[in-house]
Structure 1
């Protein structure tokens, strides 16, 4: 199951069968990279790996005389202002943003560049001139992340560094492999503040993620204000795993998160988990239980024990109120309705409830997103996006149900727990995280192909990948950093880069070079023994 702890005997059996992975660094760490960064990073030696790189010529140098050119399009101007604001602290340069296409660092739209799609870009670097072109502002923003990574890691510092700022000469032409590249953050098990979530948004934006999936409700806590159901936050938000104080986002705070993500061309997908994982809602509104009695607040991490009541109309009125208000607050395409681990819900009741929940999403102009149990135990509505979280060893019959849903018109986002779950331990001795899906090393999280992962699901039906970060054992921003880095960039590469250009041996070198940047950003990353980190780190 998605977050269920396996019994020790089951874990031992899984290890004997080769279902878990021993620490690949047990035979000794790989050789370290040089301690210092090169003055000019080779073109395209970044994460995610670009689709096409043609190096050549002398580098472009950012100087005190540099001006950032932007057309009159407000979206271009906004991206140019973001770029300039990011470059100013470390360089100390003024970097004025001007409406001059001849500026030496120029951003421009090319509506005719159909091959670049919605997020592709072209970067041209030469002495005295760097141009970034895209068909959309989102494409320009993705290109800005490449500009950041091509510059020395010190560009991420907040104080002036007196050094050269060069980008290798040549051309990068880049488009994503998949349109959906998501990072999920569980704020229900442990609550994270608006500023802490914004910091996570900034981290995923650097690696060209374009979706933030917020898990807003669960057994332990309800984290979003609903005007028509005030007890959800007055009562249901006042707990978290381990008995902490919990918390919630006001409607305006949630809007601010949505705006902040949108400015980074990231779409927010809110999740309200139904019909299971609902203990916080049941504590708040006992009439949603079949016996009308409020359960005790839950501060543990076990799952599968809570359920809404299928036979009560109060259930559907509640779902209509909540989903309607969340839809009104969210400009994105999707509402995620959960649907997993409803172990205490009878199969007929699960089907009855999910059949009625899904039209509530469509009523507000949104598409349903749900965990893959909706395809196994229910019937996904047309156009539903199914999020698969099973394991390599998940029974074939369950995977075939997902394939059947795809043949009926559903799409798939892949989040296999033993590959993509960032809360799984890296190795047996990792202090943080769980291991019910086995240990997930950096290499294991990278070495799989989303386009060929599920039998019967063609690449054309795969919308993309998502990296979930569940927080049963994670309660601080530093915990999030440690479990996300260094695995988060690799999953970004699976979603962005062409399959044919990727391999572990070259990736781990590029990944090791990211350590300088993480240090500059203050990221509390995990030193995996699989990766050649810079000497002295």
Structure 2
């Protein structure tokens, strides 16, 4: 088991003799009747059925039995923590919560042969799990990625595929960037022109698109079934041209600008002294809250260059109050720290350390997303045909070799909500292109967010990732093969 290719790396791994083999007689047992536990058991059974053809039975049973994989809860573990104990006779999985059990199942799938990821029964594959014990829990509570569906629109099926990838590497938040200058992507019933007009295009002039509220609820449920929480973002007061083109009364001059299909930033703003602007924002937040069970609403707040600071500050403060009035917590890009932050607010550090420090000085939490480390749309190097490089070239080592609690002096682990890896899509329009930009950096950042700094090791990561290539190939992931690990030798 100690030689297993596990990503992200668990806290403790120990090996024992032998292995447990899954066959047609194997049962998946749930030892504690609690909502959510069936999701993990069902996920495992479906994964195995898809690849092995075995139709494993899922049953409730208070105690483990020989030939079974038994899942149960144990209050001794952290909420997202778990333990996997594999012997020749059985597999016992204990979790601090249903989420902990789900993460255990993701680890268990990596202990299985790579072919478990490929549909269709494999002749000659022995479905063995090496014996031993794994004990694990995450370092950060919030482990997220952002998908920008505004610059280029991505269909529901593509978003679900991205959720599947996040689940595999134990991410638990997906931040959806739902509005920007180039497109408005979420149906707001009280303001229908937002999608009719604002959702009609994208970067380069394509047809755009949007999610109905039913589409969005479908995404939210699909994510929840994989213990991932959706964080919706409506960017404001800047990055708002799609909204301004839809409703000219939101402009100070009352005139609708042309729809925008370029990639420049910082040129648009709501008129912050109009009453209709605040009615609009309140309606949007209210409708989003009604279909968003998670705790967070992201209000953007970045790059609002044409909004005077004396207008920006009261706007951000009033919008925070709207969000909290509906029982949600605010996240905003680090610029929101110029305003008075409400006690439950979080500033997302992406660019300026001084903004993150201002947020901490106000008692706010910080979500760590440094563009030079965690932006998945940055080019790997000067030859990368996709992406941008205004922040940096972000090769695999840049994505892996950093510690969130040591990034900014004065921002310590207790100040940090977690880590998020954003993917902006100015240059990215297909799922294959998404895969190429996020893999393998998404895996590197999953280990930064999950695994304690003392246990992370670049040489170990390179070997595990190189061995993981085969699994990604079987999953048909179009990933970037970093030259940094070309020379790494691994067992065949």
Q: CA deviation at 1:534?
A: 8.0
Structure 1 stretches lacking a partner, 5+ long: 1-40, 391-397
How far apart are the structure 2 equivalents of 1:75 and 1:445? 33
- The aligned residue for residue 191 of structure 2 is 229
Deviations 1:341-389, CA, capped at 9 Å, x for gaps? 00010010101211111100001100000000011x3222112111100
> 1:457 and 1:243 mapped to 2: Cα distance?
42
The answer for the alignment partner of 2:364 in structure 1 is 410
1:154-169 superposed matches below 5 A: 154-162=115-123, 163-169=125-131
What does 1:89-238 correspond to in 2, within 5 Å? 89-100=50-61, 101-103=63-65, 104-113=67-76, 116-162=77-123, 163-238=125-200
Q: Do 1:44 and 1:172's aligned partners in 2 also have CA atoms closer than 8 Å?
A: no
Query: Matched residue pairs, number?
Result: 487
Task: Give me the whole-angstrom Cα distance separating, in 2, the residues matched to 1:378 and 1:277.
Answer: 18
Of the structure 1 ranges 88-97 and 483-492, higher mean CA displacement relative to structure 2 is found in 88-97
What secondary structure does 2:179 align onto?
A: coil
Tell me, in whole angstroms, the C-alpha distance in 2 between the residues paired with 1:492 and 1:107. Answer: 27
Q: 1:107, 1:498 → 2: CA distance?
A: 28
**Contact (CA 8 Å) 1:44, 1:50: kept in 2 or not?**
no
Report the Cα distance in structure 1 between the residues aligned to 2:35 and 2:403, rounded to whole angstroms.
Answer: 38
* Residue 65 of structure 1, aligned match among 3, 7, 25: 25
Contact 1:69 1:98 (8 Å CA) reproduced: yes
CA distance in 1, matches of 2:284, 2:35: 34
Is the 1:191–1:248 Cα contact (8 Å) retained in structure 2? yes
| Aligned: 1:76 with 2:30 | no
Specify the alignment match of 2:217 in structure 1. Answer: 255
| DSSP 3-state at the match of 2:230 | strand
Q: Partner of 1:432 in structure 2?
A: 386
Q: 1:52 and 2:12 equivalent? A: yes
* 8 Å Cα contact 1:185-1:469 kept in structure 2: yes
Q: Deviations over 1:409-448 (max 9, x none)?
A: 2101111001000000001000111111121000111100
1:290 aligned partner: 252
Q: 1:126/1:403 Cα in 2 relative to 1: closer, same or farther (>3 Å)?
A: same
User: What SS does the corresponding residue of 1:183 show, helix, strand or coil?
Assistant: strand
Aligned to 2:267: 305
Higher relative contact order (CA 8 A, sep 6+): 1
Q: Does 1:498 align with 2:467?
A: no
Measure the CA separation in 2 of the matches of 1:251 and 1:112.
37
> In the aligned structure 2, how far is the partner of 1:343 from the partner of 1:317?
23
Give the superposition deviation at 1:44: 5.1
- Corresponding residue for 1:21? none
Is the Cα contact below 8 Å between 2:349 and 2:355 reproduced in 1? no
The CA deviation string for residues 230-276 of structure 1, in whole angstroms up to 9 with x for no partner, is 00001000010000000000000000000000000000000000100
| Worse overlay, 330-339 or 64-73 | 64-73
Q: Secondary structure at the residue paired with 1:169?
A: strand
- Which ranges in structure 2 are unaligned for 5 or more consecutive residues? none
**2:303 corresponding residue in structure 1:** 341
Assess if the C-alpha contact under 8 Å between 1:412 and 1:464 holds in 2.
Answer: yes
Secondary structure of residue in 2 paired with 1:500: helix
Deviates more, 1:158-167 or 1:478-487: 158-167
Deviation at 1:471, TM superposition (A): 0.4
TM-score under structure 2 length normalisation: 0.96
Instruction: Give the distance between the partners of 1:111 and 1:90, measured in 2 at CA.
Output: 30
